[in-house]
A and B are shown apart, each in its own frame.
Chain A
Amino acid sequence: QKEVEQDPGPLSVPEGAIVSLNCTYSNSAFQYFMWYRQYSRKGPELLMYTYSSGNKEDGRFTAQVDKSSKYISLFIRDSQPSDSATYLCAMSRGDSWGKLQFGAGTQVVVTP
């Protein structure tokens, strides 16, 4: 079993719809949770960074962390074709090495 599970998709939604992404994890030691967006042939871009359970909102993006269920989510409101990309969840134990564990990434396609 992988430490971080993420459905690779692809997930296709019409423009303006809400995109719902999620990851589950098995290691309760993870404390920091991140969502990255990666366009083809580019480095990942940090979208959201959370530490504790709960919700965090930034513009059209909302991240949710439920540590008791070991489940994290990312919601994208009013999706645009420019949101078409691969979304990667990542998490860290927060120890001195700070290594990230990534999900497989979900490919999202927003159709006009």
Chain B
Amino acid sequence: GAVVSQHPSRVICKSGTSVKIECRSLDFQATTMFWYRQFPKQSLMLMATSNEGSKATYEQGVEKDKFLINHASLTLSTLTVTSAHPEDSSFYICSARMGDYGYTFGSGTRLTVV
């Protein structure tokens, strides 16, 4: 089936640094990629929707200057957490729609900011 490969699976960074998370669709073209954030024992919270070749659309309350999304090709979308702080520590997951067959998710990235 369709696979979205997400890297890294886990990252620890120092406060004030930036972290880039990559999601690649391996066997299909993802014109739209969704980025979610998930806190422990909570459901997924949509952060932004990215469309290939255009600017991402951010959900209300999500700082677009802190969470930079780039969707430069049909198979790659990236999320960069800029000037990360401990409160940005979370589980970040990307997702892509597979036409009429639902949505597939990446394996997630656990970000810890120390």
Contact = CB atoms under 8 A, between A and B. Distances in A.
Nearest to A46: B102
Looking at A34, A88, A92, A102, the one whose CB has the most chain B CB atoms below 10 A away is: A102
B82 interface: no
A103 B105 contact: no
Contact of A104 (B42, B46, B104): B42
Contacts, number: 50
Name the interface size band of chain A: 20 to 34
A99 B34 contact: yes
A8 B42 CA distance: 9
B48 to A, nearest CB: 10
A42 B102 contact: no
A49 B44 contact: no
A88 B103 contact: no
B49 A43 contact: no
A44 interface: yes
A59 interface: no
B44 A102 contact: yes
A36 B44 CA distance: 12
A32 B57 CA distance: 22
Nearest to B96: A98
Given A102-B43, A103-B43, A97 B106 contact: no
B47 to A, nearest CB: 11
B112 to A, nearest CB: 12
A100 B107 CA distance: 17
